[in-house]
Amino acid sequence: MKKKHFKSGFAAIIGMPNVGKSTLLNTIAGQKIAIISDKPQTTRNKILAIHTTDEEQIIFTDTPGIHKPHNKLGEFMVNAANESMNDTDVLVFVVDATHKIQDIERDITKHIAETGLPCILVLNKVDVMKKEDLLPIIADYASMHDFSSIVPISAKSGDGVQLLLEEIREFLPEGPEFYDEDMVTDQPERQIAAEIIREKMLWLLEQEVPHGIAIEITKMQEKQKITNIYATIFCEKASHKGIIIGKNGEMLKKIGSLSRSDIEKMLGKQVYLELWVKVKSDWRNSDFLIKNFGYVNE
């Protein structure tokens, strides 16, 4: 039963690429809804995670890491990040506490000040740091902006995440339950399945290949005991196609096997996954193809 003074609102997770935003989002959701990789610029689209208790509903937008764009896809990612900062109740600025502060993080801090929105600074990966090493980082950030609060966490282990949720709740207005309490994301299963495939490719392939790929789920057929999924992997070069397929198709089989395992966990049933690889040169600079692959700013 929901309490009388139920709170609900939006929290935008912002920060540079590869600081742990998607890991935090997955930890909050309790399942994989955003892909994780050690390569930067992994997240391409805004992803909602929905955290609901008897007292509040926090709707998170996970944005692409803010960086200098090199193509139209990059421009889309930066626009998605900036737009998420507008229609929100509180900003959640995630930084990697194990790295020294980057110039772009100082720029982000200035942009935060310009929005006038309350902002919680999240120092991630503190589980691999000494406490005394954390103090000068806190002092440096505190000198740049009057953050509403500063919360050290480990998104990977979940330490500090509950405290973060409590801090976010303080900035939410009283309001309705926007989504059913059992929903953890608004992302369609097709989109999550496509992102899972892309995640495995980020893990398995060399640096230059994964950022030039897009996944299209061409068919998702639900049956009683099995879900049949047919997906096309688009890459920019014929040479990349060869790398993705691998010798005797071994790499494509490995991508398919790892992807299928995670998709089965998401769907809770057996999955038949068939992958095809096609070349679409320079698709990252095509407005039409970017939209066709699901990257659309509202």
pLDDT of res. 187? 74
Confidence band, pLDDT 50/70/90 cuts, at residue 26: confident
Residue range 101-135, pLDDT digits in tens? 988 888 888 888 887 889 999 999 999 998 889 99
Which CATH code fits 189-292?
A: 3.30.300.20
pLDDT at 16 over 90: no
pLDDT of res. 45? 54
Pick the more confident residue, 201 or 81: 201
For the chain, give every domain's residue range.
7-169, 189-292
Model's pTM, two decimal places?
Answer: 0.65
pLDDT of res. 172? 95
Which CATH code fits 7-169?
A: 3.40.50.300
Q: How open is the CA angle 21-113-77, to the nearest 5 degrees?
A: 40
- State the chain's mean pLDDT as an integer: 81
